[in-house]
Copies of this chain bind each other. A is one copy, B any other.
Amino acid sequence: MAELIERGVYRLSSPAYIESYAAAVGSKEGKGPLGGCFDEVIEDSHFGMKTWEKAESRFQLEAVSLAVRKCGLTKEDIDVICAGDLINQCTGSTYGLRELEIPFLGLYGACSTMAEGLLVTSMMIDSGTAKRTAAVTSSHFSTAERQFRFPLSYGGQRTPTSQWTCTAAGAVILTKYAKKCGIVGGCIGKITDMGVNDVNNMGSAMAPAAAETIRRYLAATNTAPDDYDYIITGDLGTVGSKLIVELLQKENIDISKQHKDCGVMIFDSDEQDTHCGGSGCGCSASVLAGYFLPMLERGNISNILFAATGALMSPMTLQQGETIPTISHLVHITSNV
């Protein structure tokens, strides 16, 4: 049995081992500082499909297929797949993964989806309800723009605090069979709403949720930032990254040395005109699978906290005068297994 340390924070009874992972990204992400880390860079934003939504589905399918192939498995070896995305009714996932015929659990955690998927799939490995699982998520600049902001042809001006939704997908396969690294614990996020209602300042909206999740995990496990090589947030961008360090400093927790934000890392904001950095479910998923997991597997680092962050509003709730509820889920991944 896993050890429930406090509400929503637990250690698994044995690690959910990382068997494989893969990231497929778009052209702009491929030209960014991490471009060489990703398994595939797809230059065509339509990925050969007729619509951007179908392209996003194909990115997600591609990430899973790559991850499965990289470890010499077939889709029949995967007992369950957990997936979600930002498109209304999560159709990026449902249409993308339809042909796999793998038992499917749909998630909605906005840009926190990769961490949520790893929480759920690692619990399934630990419980014995699956021997091998996949977690996958995706985002696409053009599907997000037309759904959440403006159709691209509108040519709207972006504000200084805005972020650029990544065209990217990442997949992680977990297994009960021993490998070099694995997930050993997690923290399930609480919905946090500090009253921000500026949809172009998501980093500030989400930073308090990530700060609280990291604080809860460190406190419950009686560990400190120095116990980890990296404490990774999903897509707070430059504004949100500054804020999370400040928020935790007020709690006497200094993560300034360990903190990395996938949204900051994936683009060269000055060169690539991405303002505060990258965002979208695929941002943290692809950076985890493309950059951090290989370092863990190679032994360059041994302990990371991965806290993806999501904004849980919709264009309609903001039109109805609401603020932005946010969430951050965390998994602890280690090579000390």
Q: Are B79 and A105 in contact (CB under 8 A)?
A: no
A131 to B129 alpha-carbon distance, docked (Å): 18
Of residues 284 to 322 in A, which have CB atoms within 8 Å of B's CB atoms?
312-317, 320, 322
The answer to whether the Cβ of A2 comes within 8 Å of any Cβ in the partner chain is: yes
Partner of A188, one of B53, B105, B187: B105
A127 to B50 alpha-carbon distance, docked (Å): 43
Partner of A98, one of B76, B90, B131, B191: B191
The answer to whether the Cβ of A120 comes within 8 Å of any Cβ in the partner chain is: yes
Q: Are A107 and B110 in contact (CB under 8 A)?
A: no
Q: Are B104 and A106 in contact (CB under 8 A)?
A: no
Q: Are A8 and B89 in contact (CB under 8 A)?
A: no
- B residues less than 8 Å from A315 (CB atoms): 88
Q: Are B123 and A4 in contact (CB under 8 A)?
A: no
- B residues less than 8 Å from A1 (CB atoms): 127-128
- B residues less than 8 Å from A130 (CB atoms): 4
Q: Are A106 and B103 in contact (CB under 8 A)?
A: no
- B residues less than 8 Å from A191 (CB atoms): 94, 97-98, 100-101, 104
A260 to B221 alpha-carbon distance, docked (Å): 47
Sampled A-B contacts (13; CB under 8 Å)? A4-B79, A4-B128, A7-B79, A8-B79, A53-B320, A80-B188, A90-B312, A91-B313, A94-B312, A101-B190, A103-B188, A104-B190, A104-B191
